[in-house]
Amino acid sequence: MSSNLFSFVAGTAGDWRIARIERVAGGGLPAAERLAVLEGPLEPSAGWHWSLRGFVSNVRYATRAETRELRARQPPLARPSATCAALIPIRKSAQWWELAQDERRAIFEERSRHTAIGLDALPAVARRLHHSRDLGEPFDFLTWFEYAPEHEGTFERLLERLRGSEEWRFVEREVDVRLVR
Amino acid sequence: MSSNLFSFVAGTAGDWRIARIERVAGGGLPAAERLAVLEGPLEPSAGWHWSLRGFVSNVRYATRAETRELRARQPPLARPSATCAALIPIRKSAQWWELAQDERRAIFEERSRHTAIGLDALPAVARRLHHSRDLGEPFDFLTWFEYAPEHEGTFERLLERLRGSEEWRFVEREVDVRLVR
Radius of gyration of chain A (CA): 16
Q: What is the pLDDT of residue B1?
A: 47
How many CB atoms within 10 Å of residue B109?
Answer: 19
Q: What is the pLDDT of residue B148?
A: 98
Chains A, B: CB contacts within 8 A come to 68
- Does the CB of B59 have a partner CB in chain A at under 8 Å? yes
> Within chain A, which residues score under 50 in pLDDT?
1
Q: Name the E strands within A33-140.
A: 34-39, 48-55, 84-92, 126-131
Judge whether B67 and A100 are in contact, CB under 8 Å: yes
Q: Do B5 and A136 touch (CB under 8 A)?
A: yes
Q: Tell me which chain B residues have a C-beta less than 8 angstroms from the C-beta of A131.
A: 134
Q: What is the pLDDT of residue A1?
A: 47
Q: What is the pLDDT of residue B44?
A: 64
Q: Which chain B residue's Cα is nearest to A102?
A: B63
Judge whether B91 and A130 are in contact, CB under 8 Å: no
Task: Determine what percent of chain B is predicted with pLDDT higher than 90.
Answer: 93
CB contact residues (below 8 A), chain B span 87-106, against chain A: 97, 99-103, 105
DSSP B86-124: EEEEEEE-HHHHHS-HHHHHIIIIIIT-HHHHHHHTTTT
Q: What is the pLDDT of residue A3?
A: 72
* β-pair partners for B167: none
Q: What is the mean pLDDT of chain B?
A: 96
Q: Tell me which chain A residues have a C-beta less than 8 angstroms from the C-beta of B59.
A: 100-101
Judged against a pLDDT cut of 90, whether residue B47 lies above it is answered with no
CA distance linking residue B32 with residue B34, whole number of Å: 6
Judged against a pLDDT cut of 60, whether residue B141 lies above it is answered with yes
Q: What is the pLDDT of residue A61?
A: 98
**In this complex, which of B55, B63, B134 lies closest to A101 when CB atoms are compared?**
B63
CA distance linking residue B55 with residue B93, whole number of Å: 20
**In this complex, which of B1, B60, B61 lies closest to A135 when CB atoms are compared?**
B1
